[in-house]
Amino acid sequence: MSVFRMATKNVLIVYAHQSSGSFNAAAKDAAVEVLKAQDCTVEVSDLYAMKFKAAATAEDITGEVKNADHFRYAEETKLAWEEGKLCDDLTEEQRKLTQADLIIFQFPMYWFTVPAIMKGWIDRVLTLGYAYSHEKRYSQGIFKDKKAMLSFTTGSQESMFSANGINGDMNVTLWPLQNGILHYCGFQVLAPQIFWAPSHVPSEERSTMLEGWRTRLQGILKEKSLSFTPMDCFDREKGFQLKPEVHEKHASKEYGLTVGIHLGKALPPNNQMKAGV
């Protein structure tokens, strides 16, 4: 009798924290443990330990560049990728990403975004041609068969990131990261895992946070992704503006389509934080 097993899933964790004793390290370790227990193959890119270079420069290309007088990073790395002339660290990270079914970005939120070293990973690894092109982006993106998500800690309490809070709506904060980077490359974006101000709560509450993360990880590979407006809803000939018929369809609705495309209406609550809202 043949035994059918679910195909092994590959997970890449892109991790950015300087300390192995941090809450982020604990969250990363929990993910590795729980996912491996589900027979996943897990790779971790520990960016600080790797001393990953954050700056996108001509050094990312082996050999001479095509136009040294007017160096354009996107175009030059596209040519280098096509010709197999990207530097070794980029080639290795692209290998990991190509093999991954799920990518988890684990980090402490710095200044309402990712740490510089992680932004460098994004800038340098997601090269033109490899990760996106003019024809292949958003819902038609290159990585549309892969899932990705943000898992991060904040320094502020949840109430401060509310629609009435001093930091503003977290959904708005997440839009550039989740739509402008992950969805832009085609990823199915899973709801973020947000650990609210773990450094300001008792150890028991931090343990509860980690336990909640472990529980979520048990079914993470089957989760539905966040909703983004498909590319065919936009008119290419008119500068990718929302088509009139789509606009009309939503004219009577209380909320806009998404946080970023809100049609002058109220922002849809939790659009960037929960699937199916």
Residue 188 maps to which CATH number? 3.40.50.360
Residues 262, 170, single domain; the answer is: no
Q: At what angle do helices 23-37 and 203-217 cross, to 10 degrees?
A: 30
pLDDT at 143 over 80: yes
Beta bridge partner(s), residue 55: none
The answer to the question of residue 5 being in a domain is no
For residue 6, the model assigns a pLDDT of 55
Residue 125 forms part of a structural domain: yes
Are 138 and 91 in a shared domain? yes
pLDDT at 140 over 50: yes
Average of per-residue pLDDT across 257-274? 93
Boundary of a domain, candidates 184, 200, 224:
224
Mean pLDDT (the chain) is 94
Q: For the segment 162-181, what is each residue's pLDDT rounded down to a tens digit?
A: 999 999 999 999 999 999 99
Name the band, by pLDDT with cuts 50, 70 and 90, for residue 4: very low
C-alpha distances (whole Å) from 203 to each of 27, 42, 194, 195, 210 are 14, 28, 17, 13, 11
Q: Does pLDDT of 102 surpass 60?
A: yes
Q: Is residue 4 part of a domain?
A: no
Instruction: Supply the pLDDT for residue 55.
Output: 98
Claim to verify: residue 241 and residue 215 sit in the same structural domain: no
Q: Is residue 242 part of a domain?
A: yes
> Do 249 and 216 reside in the same domain of the chain?
no
Q: Of 182, 206, 224, which one is at a domain's C-terminal end?
A: 224
Q: Do 104 and 233 fall into the same domain? A: no
Mean pLDDT score, 77-103:
97
Is 87 within a domain? yes
Question: Which of the four pLDDT bands, split at 50, 70 and 90, describes residue 2?
Answer: very low
Q: Map tokens 């520990």 to a residue.
A: 46
Please indicate, yes or no, whether residues 220 and 232 belong to a single structural domain of this protein: no
Position 3 in a domain? no
Instruction: Tell which wins on pLDDT, 58 or 4.
Output: 58
| Cα-based distances in Å from 191 to 110, 226, 227, 242, 270 | 19, 6, 10, 25, 10
What's the pLDDT score for residue 3? Answer: 46
Residue 277: pLDDT above 90? no
pLDDT band at 82 (very low <50, low <70, confident <90, very high): very high
**206 and 148, same structural domain?**
yes
In a domain, 2, yes or no: no
Tell me the average pLDDT across 94-108: 98
Domain membership of residue 103 as a residue range: 10-224
Question: For the chain, how many structural domains are there in total?
Answer: 2
What integer pLDDT is reported at residue 8 of this predicted model? 86
Give the span between the Cα atoms of 57 and 72, in whole angstroms.
9
Say whether both 220 and 231 belong to one domain: no
Does residue 143 share a domain with residue 277?
Answer: no
Confidence check: pLDDT of 7 > 90: no
Same domain, 245 and 195: no
Residues 130 and 193 in one domain: yes
Domain-embedded: residue 60: yes
Residues 98 and 185 in one domain: yes
